[in-house]
Every structure is written in structure tokens, then in C-alpha cells.
Amino acid sequence: MEDREIILEVKDLQKDYPVMRGLVFQKEIGRVKAVNRISFDLYRGETLGVIGESGCGKTTLSRVVMGLENATGGNVTFMGHQVKRGMDHELRSHIQMVFQDPYSSLDPRMSVKRILEEPLRIHSKLNAKEKREKVLPLLEQVGLPEEALERYPHEFSGGQRQRIGIARALILEPELLICDEPVSALDVSVQAQILNLLRTLQKNKKLTYLFVSHDMSVIRHISDRILVMYLGQMMELADKKTLFSRPAHPYTRALMEAVPVPDPRIKDQCKVLAGEIPSPIHAPAGCPFCTRCPQAKEICCREKPEQKEIEEGHFVACHLYSREETL
């Protein structure tokens, strides 16, 4: 990976939200650390999958990387420029997002033609003919006919609406596409179509993806590397082959064991992780997973584990791999 170009750098990223009490004279009584000191690099042309349970901070991470929210701490750097709210239009046009719900992310009052031309109206000075010349080939690439331009979002199926959302994200020819659970609201058969479409577009347009999902099978299908999150923190980071063949963190193994196997002869194929996710306001002082981890030790509840590279490109935050514990 060292010889590949880094397109996105995330260093010690932190995003907190204040918890307030009172209607008139509000007082801050705590902070939710939605993203807590996460670091990773994203290489040009690759897909980094981000996975974890609901509420682990995946969407917050994607929104900060997108520049929709400012970070509380740390930095997000895209092609040498800092990402933040209010960044210039030229930089923003290179980072686009595909949202989870393909219906609510599209304005129901706009036709498909206007939806796709809106980014061009904001970020360029093309005339009507030039806009149409950019829209028509892209519409064909996402598998929609030309007559779809005059129709409205409610006239399409969920899969077709997501294709419109993908076309809108690609109309400005971005280099980084952030996909926030883009297939979770779709049927399984439609999911496969959208995932295959994303892979084809990535190959043809040399796109880079940050792909967020809670579905392990989806992440396995589309990702090159995988980042595992829990309670706002990074538990493990590795390439897909390594993570699925040698998962290091107990939480990663628990996620994999929870995936059902399509074989009725296998009993107890889904091992549900015991316990509840701790409150993000009162997170454990040590490892955030210590309250549910079957291998937890005393040090796990007392000290926060540091990221350790246990093999090339394979990082894990767990005391099972810390130097003191292995001696």
C-alpha cells in the first residue's frame, strides 16, 4: 500500500455532541463521543468498508468526512486540503455522497432532469444544451432510460430511485464517493444490482469509496479493506481477506458469528452477542467493548487499549495483543 496514492487522511478524528438539560436555562450535563479518535488512510481507487452495530458512529464519521459537520478534534484531509463545513465549492464537488434512503434524499417536487442538473447549476456555468449532454450518458450508465428525465421520484421503484441518487452524486465527476448504507432500504435482489453497479462505475471512472454498512455480507462483497467500529472507536482495520480469515478483535469475531449460515442442518448457527451497548454518555473508562467481551480482563475495564499493528496492514485495539499482556 505504501506506493499507492493516499486520497484521504483521517487523523485522531473526534466528534462530540453536548447533552443539555433544561428548557430555558440549558446546562451541559455530558457529551456523547460519537466518533472517538479514529485514524485511517484511504487510497485512490479502493473501497474502505466501515461496519458496526447501529449507533456506533458510522454515519457521523461519514458526515464529518463529507464536510457536513465540523470535527470536534483531529483532522480530515482530502488531497492536501482540510475538509470542513464551508469549504470552497471546487473542493466539495470532488466529494459526493449517496444516502441511505433513496426516497427522502430526492426532492419529490423536482423531476429527474432537474435533480441531476441542480449540482451543475450550482458548481458550473454550463448552458442547457451542455447540461443535457452530461446528464444523458450518465443516465445510461446507471441503467435508466432517457424518458426518465421528465418523471418524478415517486414514479420509480426503490432501486431506480437509488440509481438516480448515484447519478446525482456522479454528475460532478467526483473522486471520492461516500456511500452511507446505500442498499439497506432495498430488497436483496435489488441490493445486488446496486452493488454491482457501484463496482462497475468504480472501475470505469476510477472512483474511491468510503462504504458504510451494518451488513457483513455487503461489506465483504464490495470492500478492499474493512474498518470495524464500536461505540465511536475503531476496533480493527485490515484488508478483507485478512479480516475474514484471521479476525483479531473479539467484537469482530462476534459480528461474524452473528451472520446466519444458509444451511438448515447447522443448529445454533447465529451466536447473538450478550449484553447491551453501554450508554455513549457514560462509556467505559477502558475498552468500550469490555462489558460484553467474553475474553475481558481486569485491565480491559481500567485502561483504554492502543492501536497495535499485529501484522502488516492489520491494526487492532485490544489488550489481548498488547505487549504487557503477551509477556
Which pLDDT score is estimated for 267? 66
pTM of the model as a whole:
0.91
CA distance 91 to 216: 32
Cβ atoms within 10 A of the Cβ of 217, count? 12
* Whole-number Å distance between alpha carbons of 247 and 226: 11
CATH top-level class of 6-94+172-262+269-326: alpha beta
Q: Which whole number is the average pLDDT over 108-118?
A: 95
**Mean pLDDT, rounded, for 284-300:** 91
Residue range 153-158: mean pLDDT, rounded: 93
CA 69 to chain CA centroid, Å, is: 15
Q: Worst-scoring range by mean pLDDT, 20-29, 38-47, 216-225, 281-290? A: 20-29
3-class DSSP state of 40: strand
Where residue 91 falls among pLDDT bands split at 50, 70, 90? Answer: confident
Beta-bridge mates of residue 114? none
pLDDT at 326: 41
Q: Which amino acid is at 204?
A: N
Triad 259, 262, 265: Cα angle to 5°:
110
- Listed by start position, the domains of the chain span 6-94+172-262+269-326
Q: Check residue 103 and give its pLDDT.
A: 85
Work out the pLDDT band at 89, boundaries 50, 70, 90.
confident
Residue 276 has pLDDT above 80, yes or no: no
- Take residue 71 and report the three cell numbers written for it: 470535527
